[in-house]
């Protein structure tokens, strides 16, 4: 059965590779619609990258030391239920306002 993508994706080119741009909350919430052939990486390590290891440990659902598509999609499912505006996750902040929690 073919599934039609309802979300309109925007791409940018970096390092010779076309990549999806996560511009707003709608982009985050639609990640489960994005064909895995369009994901830049299907796995990344939880260490030796420029992202807080504690954050990566939370995302690493099966604790195998790698963040995979299923880990990201699990986080998106959690975000859908936890936040009123997923776009706020794209803004750097030290705290989340209580009004943003669903």
Please spell the DSSP secondary structure of 21-89, one letter per residue: ---SHHHHHTGGGS-GGG-S-SEEESSSSSS-HHHHHHH-TT-SSEEEHHHHHHHHHHHHHHBS-GGGG
Model confidence, pTM: 0.85
Per-residue pLDDT at 3 exceeds 80: no
As a whole number of angstroms, the distance between CA 69 and CA 94 comes to 26
Per-residue confidence (pLDDT) for residue 1, from 0 to 100: 47
Q: What is the pLDDT of residues 43-101, one digit of tens each?
A: 999 999 999 999 999 999 999 999 999 999 999 999 999 999 999 999 999 999 999 99
């Amino acid at each position: 059965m073919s599934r039609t993508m309802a979300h309109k994706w925007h791409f940018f080119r970096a390092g010779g590779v076309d990549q999806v741009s996560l511009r707003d909350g709608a982009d985050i919430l639609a990640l489960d619609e994005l064909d895995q052939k369009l994901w830049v990486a299907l796995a990344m390590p939880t260490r030796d990258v420029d992202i807080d290891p504690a954050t990566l440990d939370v995302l690493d659902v099966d604790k195998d030391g790698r963040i995979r598509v299923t880990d990201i999609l699990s986080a998106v499912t959690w975000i859908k239920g936890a936040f009123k505006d997923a776009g706020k996750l794209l803004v750097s902040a030290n705290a989340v306002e209580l009004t943003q929690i669903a």
